[in-house]
Amino acid sequence: AEVSPRISAEDLIDLCELTGPAQFKTPVKRPKAVKTKIVAVDIRSNEDFSRGHVPGSINVPYSSVFGPDGELLQCPSTNALAGYKSRVVVILSNISKNAAK
C-alpha cells in the first residue's frame, strides 16, 4: 500500500466527490453516479466517534483492532473494511502517532 501523509484540500475534495465554491467552508456532496474513490476510517474510540465524526466515515477504534505487538486483529471492524478494497483510505485520528502506524 502506498503511504501519502499529505494531500491538498483540493485533492481531498475531489476524492470525496464534493463540490462547491472554494469560499464555502463545507462543500456539498455530488450526486451519486458511481462508487466513491475514498473511504474515511476513524480510528478514535467509540465514545469520541459518537460525539462527532465525518459523515460516512467508518469507526475502527485503534485500541480494539491492533494487538500489543501492532498486528492487525481479525474482528467485525476490520472485516467490514474488506468491502472497500481498491479505494483510497483516509485515516482520521485525534492522536497523530496512531494515524502514522
Strand partners, 29: 18
Strand partners, 91: 41
Strand partners, 77: none
> Quick one: pLDDT at residue 13?
66
pLDDT in tens, 19-73: 555 445 555 555 555 567 788 889 899 999 999 988 888 898 988 888 888 788 8
Question: What DSSP character marks residue 17?
Answer: T
How are the residues of the chain apportioned to helix, strand and coil, as percentages rounded to the nearest 5?
30, 20, 50
Higher pLDDT, 1 or 13: 13
> Quick one: pLDDT at residue 20?
52
Distance (Å, whole) CA 57 – CA 73: 20
Tell me the residue ranges of DSSP E strands in 8-52.
18-19, 28-29, 38-42
pLDDT at residue 91 tops 60? yes
Question: What DSSP character marks residue 55?
Answer: T
pLDDT at residue 101 tops 90? no
> Any idea where the domains of the chain sit in the sequence?
9-95
State the amino acid at position 100 in one-letter form: A
> Quick one: pLDDT at residue 32?
56
Mean pLDDT, rounded, for 4-10: 66
